[in-house]
Chain A
Amino acid sequence: MNWNWSVVDEFMPYFWDGVRVTLQATALGSLLSFALGLVWALLLRTPSRFVRWPVGFFVEFIRNTPLLVQLFFLFYVLPEWGVQTSALATGIIGIGLHYSTYTAEVYRAGIEGVPAGQWEAARALSLPRGRTWGAVILPQAIRRVVPALGNYVIALLKDTPMLLGIGVLEMLNQARQFGAQTFQYIEPYTIVGIAFILISYPASLFMRYLERRLVH
């Protein structure tokens, strides 16, 4: 095996483009999954089963089908419906939607973990429903699930290479293209592998720190 530093030099500009796209997809996909997951969690608690059942079916469906299938579906079917977006935007929507079905479960556990006495105190004070959720229940529920949500950010980061399936030039796809053009595969793939661990390991240390801080 020959390691060639000049290949590394050549690859770096493409690599940085890939890093930017990977981080962008991770950050925006995570935010989308946090927001949508909360929406699913709240809808799954509404008294009306005409809301709960379809949402429950949708969430189960997304969670139990492969991300790559969903990405292909969004990429090839959305334009048919007249929705034109870039591959990256489609990828962010797809990965955010996919992970929102997991974060929904995290929020559910967090909400159920708030002691019954908190609901009773809110009721005894006649707090309106919006205030009960917004000022009492969710702040406590979210605080205890921040570490669990953080773990999904790391999982999501590691799933971003799936986006190469729809042509997004994230880190891995940059390496693959570079290799296809130069027949130099070892250096780019090695660099991308190291980059993943350099991003995700400190992130997981940070999550453990958050866990110690927030969950007592």
Chain B
Amino acid sequence: MSTDSTGPTGSPGSTPAASTPGRSTPGSGNGAELIRFDKVTKRFGSNTVLDDLDFTVAPGKHVTLIGPSGSGKTTILRLLMTLVKPDEGTIRVDGEYLTHEEKGGRLVPAGEKHTREIRKKIGMVFQQFNLFPNMKVLQNITEAPVHVLGLGRDEAEERARELVELVGLTECLDRYPTQLSGGQQQRVAIARALAMRPQVLLLDEVTSALDPELVAGVLDLLRDIAHTTDITMLCVTHEMGFARDISDDVLMFDAGRVIESGPPEKIFSEPENERTREFLSAVL
């Protein structure tokens, strides 16, 4: 287990007690951590997808999760977005419990209201875009800022216009999602997530559903965002070149555990773990 990792540390379940906040984030000045998983286990039926998982992500870091399919990467994003609930363990975002609340000194499952407040700090971009097909691009982007953050319509539209400019789709504001290409839809989805000004952006295989010639445009946009903002990114991808470009850290998953982690140069060039080597030789 490497201890020199700057942002996150993935610690295999065999050494659960060893992980402490101070040790896991030597790279950030104040020792802060934005995301913290403690002994998280998630099962689907008899299938254990995440097994006693500990890891942390420091603010502003870009972390990529790699590994064979079914290794639990996407489940981590879905847990953070509260699309699924952990069976055991706790998740904290910005120091607060995501799916639990402290009541009378005890941790109890959180109510919807508490979870909603924490979840506002997180945005997600999906593999299948999941734009609202009944709304034009503009309304897709303004819907949540208006109805969740309580922004005025003018302010929300102003924000949306800035974002479509960022993602290069100014001319598409008045179109419906079905009138856009997959790459354009995914860029709208990125703008929609950013409109909530989240602290964390979750990217779930965002180019997997795109035609090959549309992948580069979306990845370039995400590179831009990664290099010009201080947003924290948690990214599941099969695009290893992209992972190498934007990541501060790479976590290699296998069978629900982090089996290796470190900066991309190290993971991609001289992986220590046999499974990591096998996986990378298969995908690179």
Contacts and interface: CB of A to CB of B under 8 A. Distances in A.
A135 B142 CA distance: 12
Nearest to A139: B134
Nearest to A142: B134
Contact of B124 (A118, A124, A127, A143): A124
B120 interface: yes
Contacts of B36: none
Contacts of A117: 126, 128, 130
Residue among A125, A128, A135 with most chain B CB within 10 A = A125
A123 B148 contact: no
B179 to A, nearest CB: 12
Contacts of B59: none
Contacts of A124: 81, 83, 119, 122-124, 126, 193
Nearest to B120: A126
A135 B144 CA distance: 11
A149 to B, nearest CB: 17
B130 A126 contact: no
Interface size class of A (residues with CB under 8 A): 10 to 19
A136 interface: yes
Interface string B111-143: 000001001101110101011111100000001
A155 interface: no
B192 interface: yes
Given A118-B132, A125-B192, A126-B148, A135 B116 contact: no
Interface residues of B, number: 24
B116 A126 contact: yes
A140 interface: yes
Interface in B141-191: 143-144, 147-148
A213 interface: no
B69 interface: no
Nearest to B80: A124
A120 B132 contact: no
A128 B132 contact: no
A121 interface: yes
Contacts of A49: none
Contact of B133 (A126, A131, A140): A140
Interface in B57-110: 81-83
B148 A125 contact: yes
B130 A136 contact: no
B233 interface: no
B234 interface: no
A60 B24 CA distance: 59
B143 A135 contact: yes
B200 to A, nearest CB: 12
B134 A125 contact: no
11 contacts: A123-B119, A124-B81, A124-B122, A124-B124, A124-B193, A125-B148, A125-B193, A126-B119, A127-B143, A127-B148, A140-B134
Which are the 3 A-B pairs with shortest beta-carbon distances?
A121-B130, A125-B144, A117-B130
Given A118-B130, A124-B83, A127-B147, 7 more contacts: A120-B83, A121-B126, A123-B82, A124-B124, A124-B126, A127-B144, A128-B147
